[in-house]
Amino acid sequence: MSLFRKKRPADDVPKHIEIWGHFIEVNRLLRRVMLLSSAITLVAVAGAMYMMLVAFHRPVVYFVDSDGHASYGGRLGDAETPLDVEARYVAKKFLKHAMAFHSLTIESDLAEAWNLMTDELRQEQSAELAEYEAERGHSFVAFVKEQQIRTVLDFFRIDVENHNDKTWAVRITGLARTWPLSRVGEEAGFSAKEFEAQLTLVRVPRSELSPNGLLVSHQATRLFEPKKEAEALEETVPAPSPRPGP
């Protein structure tokens, strides 16, 4: 056994170790993983945004019955064009709240009519009510409450004209019968006036507050003495039963 280690030839000693190629392969793999992750993230964000768009702006479901009444069924957006039957329904509902005064429910009736108006018409109505109170020294609501009356509308005819699915002109004729609350139910206890109403309805996005997608932007109403047709109706239409207050 030799006590001295034998030297290796100079050619057998490695000068350097090559590891750069391995780093390049690892970097390429990491870049591919990052690109794939970015693509998946973009797809996920786009899908989430689309689902939010569907949830908040697209119609889920709503129902329109034969009378035109639309019931809310979810988050609604700018859905299909309102039908003429919906225009009739909204016009009738508006007049029932805006003209058929009841001394016990006048405040809630006006609030319901208010919800069916555009902002412009609301401003006009507010100005008229303020002018009424300034001239007479009491509000219109107080006046109706003091009268102790109930008015019922009977509709003769409703004509609807659609203007490019954006506005609807509605003309309604009928009879307004008014009873004192103390005589509701009596056949001969009411006074009658014929009325003619011209309403303009505009299309708005369907929503929980406006499921029909229509609001009243203009109204004009006139009252006049009943004709023979109205007088015949007074004899044939039964009087309404008393309605309790709220």
- Map 42-85 to HEC letters: HHHHHHHHHHHHHHHHCCCCEEECCCCCEEECCCCCCCCCCCHH
pLDDT digits (tens, 9 = 90+) for 173-217: 999 999 898 776 666 677 889 999 999 999 998 887 888 889 999
**Of 190, 160, 187, 158, which Cα lies nearest the Cα of 176?**
190
Residue 205 lies in a domain: yes
Residue 114 lies in a domain: yes
**pLDDT value, residue 76:** 47
In whole angstroms, how far apart are CA 105 and each of 35, 110, 129, 146? 66, 9, 17, 12
What does DSSP say about strands 70-72 and 149-163: parallel, antiparallel, or unpaired?
unpaired
pLDDT digits (tens, 9 = 90+) for 112-149: 999 999 999 999 999 999 999 999 999 999 999 999 99
Residue 87 lies in a domain: yes
**pLDDT value, residue 246:** 43
Alpha-carbon distance 97 to 116, whole Å? Answer: 10
Residue 33 lies in a domain: no
* SS (HEC) of 86-119: HHHHHHHHHHHHHCCCECCCHHHHHHHHHHCECH
How many domains, the chain?
Answer: 1
What's 3's DSSP letter? S
Region 11-29 average pLDDT: 63
pLDDT digits (tens, 9 = 90+) for 22-81: 667 767 777 888 888 888 888 888 888 877 766 665 555 555 666 666 665 555 444 578
Are 212 and 93 in contact by the 8 Å Cβ rule? The answer is no
The residue segments making up the domain with residue 126 are 82-236
**Of 105, 103, 98, which Cα lies nearest the Cα of 182?**
103
Q: How many CB atoms lie within 10 A of CB 7?
A: 7
Alpha-carbon distance 81 to 203, whole Å? Answer: 8
30 membership: H or E segment, kind and range: helix 20-57
- Secondary structure (3-state) at 234: helix
pLDDT of residue 232 exceeding 60:
no
Residue 8 lies in a domain: no
Alpha-carbon distance 75 to 72, whole Å? Answer: 8
Alpha-carbon distance 4 to 76, whole Å? Answer: 94
Name residues whose C-beta falls within 8 Å of residue 162's C-beta, 6 or more positions apart in sequence.
Answer: 84, 87, 168
Residue 206 lies in a domain: yes
The amino acid present at 133, given as its one-letter code, is E
Q: Is 135 exposed, middle or buried (0-12, 13-18, 19+ CB in 10 A)?
A: exposed
Label residue 161 by pLDDT band (50, 70, 90).
Answer: very high
Residue 16 lies in a domain: no
Residue 185 lies in a domain: yes
Region 209-228 average pLDDT: 88
The CATH number given to whatever domain includes residue 93 is 3.10.450.230
What's 10's DSSP letter? G
